């Protein structure tokens, strides 16, 4: 009976985590395909968001059960401050969901993908402002390139890329609030989904009673609608599992995969991609590469110090 070579187990675990991280970001990046399919079936963005909030709660509960975090979740439900912060984070993420679903069903996938490129760079800047985290020269260069990219995009569109900026800001606010909450990812996500599930269910019932909506009007579209729950929650579960097993540098690089898939979808769907608009993405991509390189440099220094 042969034994595994030294380091083989660690290599296998890292490879599995890398594959999970890639799958997570592909699911995030490919989510517009589901939202567009539902839009073509007659669902409004608000119905999709309501259903998304409603179906995410049971899937988030499943994650809590599988992670064995039931006791922590019950404890968090008894803490008014924790509940207040999670209510704010739920409102922030619901705003992002609503705008994103509306954007992909109204020909703004490219502008949405720009927002998700900006978000990690905005997080870096916010860390320096609010938490006094040090930003090196590479980080400053990444932020500067992102700012230039937004400026060029503004010229290309003839207006501020508000969808990009609002999406990046809502998820920056979400991350900022979650840093203040001493609760694990699965428990926090479930409580956020609980806050959103009530209004979502109420809206879906009202829509159905008033004769609107597509859910319940045919098996194929109804089954398709139920997928919004796992499509929302499963990437978060994969990310949570991956984040504990991959170096920050690789995580930093992988997070740009999702908006790249979104960019490709937007271009494939025929959204306007003028040379000036493409130039704006070149600056954003350069900023993303600088961000990933800076994260890699930091991880190398940390390994050397250990």
Chain segment 238-251, per-residue pLDDT in tens: 876 776 677 665 76
Res. 228: pLDDT tops 50:
yes
* String of DSSP letters for 31-49: HHHHHHHHHHTT--HHHHH
d(CA 10, CA 116): 31
- Name the band, by pLDDT with cuts 50, 70 and 90, for residue 289: confident
* Residue 69 CB burial class (10 angstroms; 0-12, 13-18, ≥19): buried
**Least confidently predicted of 72-76, 215-219, 297-301:** 297-301
Write down the pLDDT at residue 253.
72
Q: What is the pLDDT of residue 202?
A: 92
| DSSP character at residue 214 | S
pLDDT at 10: 54
Tokens read off for 119: 């978000």
Q: What is the pLDDT of residues 63-102, one digit of tens each?
A: 899 888 899 899 989 999 999 999 999 999 899 989 999 9
Residue 164 confidence (pLDDT) above 70: yes
| Residues contacting residue 16 through CB under 8 Å, at least 6 positions apart | 245
Q: Are 194 and 73 in contact (CB under 8 A)?
A: no
Average pLDDT score, the chain: 84
What pLDDT, on a 0 to 100 scale, did the predictor assign at position 302? Answer: 63
Question: Cα(224)–Cα(305) distance, rounded to whole angstroms?
Answer: 50
């Amino acid at each position: 009976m042969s034994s595994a070579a030294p380091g083989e187990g660690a290599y296998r675990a890292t490879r599995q985590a890398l594959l999970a991280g890639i799958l997570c970001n592909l699911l995030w990046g490919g989510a517009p395909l589901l939202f567009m399919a539902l839009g073509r079936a007659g669902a409004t963005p608000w119905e999709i968001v309501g259903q998304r909030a409603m179906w995410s709660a049971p899937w988030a509960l499943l994650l809590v059960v599988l992670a064995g975090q039931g006791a922590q979740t019950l404890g968090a439900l008894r803490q008014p401050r924790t509940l207040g912060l999670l209510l704010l984070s739920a409102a922030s993420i619901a705003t992002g969901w609503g705008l994103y679903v509306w954007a992909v069903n109204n020909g703004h996938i490219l502008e949405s993908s720009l927002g998700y490129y900006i978000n990690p760079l905005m997080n870096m800047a916010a860390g320096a402002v609010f938490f006094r985290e040090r930003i090196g020269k590479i980080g400053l260069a990444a932020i500067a390139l992102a700012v230039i990219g937004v400026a060029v995009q503004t010229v290309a569109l003839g207006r501020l890329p508000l969808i990009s900026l609002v999406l990046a800001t809502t998820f920056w606010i979400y991350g900022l609030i979650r840093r203040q909450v001493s609760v694990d990812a699965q428990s926090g996500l479930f409580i956020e989904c609980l806050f959103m599930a009530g209004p979502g269910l109420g809206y879906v019932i009202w829509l159905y009673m008033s004769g609107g909506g597509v859910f319940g009007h045919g098996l194929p579209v109804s089954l398709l609608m139920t997928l919004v729950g796992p499509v929302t929650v499963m990437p978060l579960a994969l990310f949570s599992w991956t984040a504990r097993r991959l170096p920050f540098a690789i995580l930093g690089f992988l997070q740009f995969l999702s908006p790249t898939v979104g960019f490709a979808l937007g271009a494939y769907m025929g959204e306007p991609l003028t040379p000036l608009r493409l130039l704006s993405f070149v600056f954003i991509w350069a900023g993303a590469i600088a961000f990933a390189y800076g994260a890699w440099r930091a991880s190398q220094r940390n390994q050397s110090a250990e």
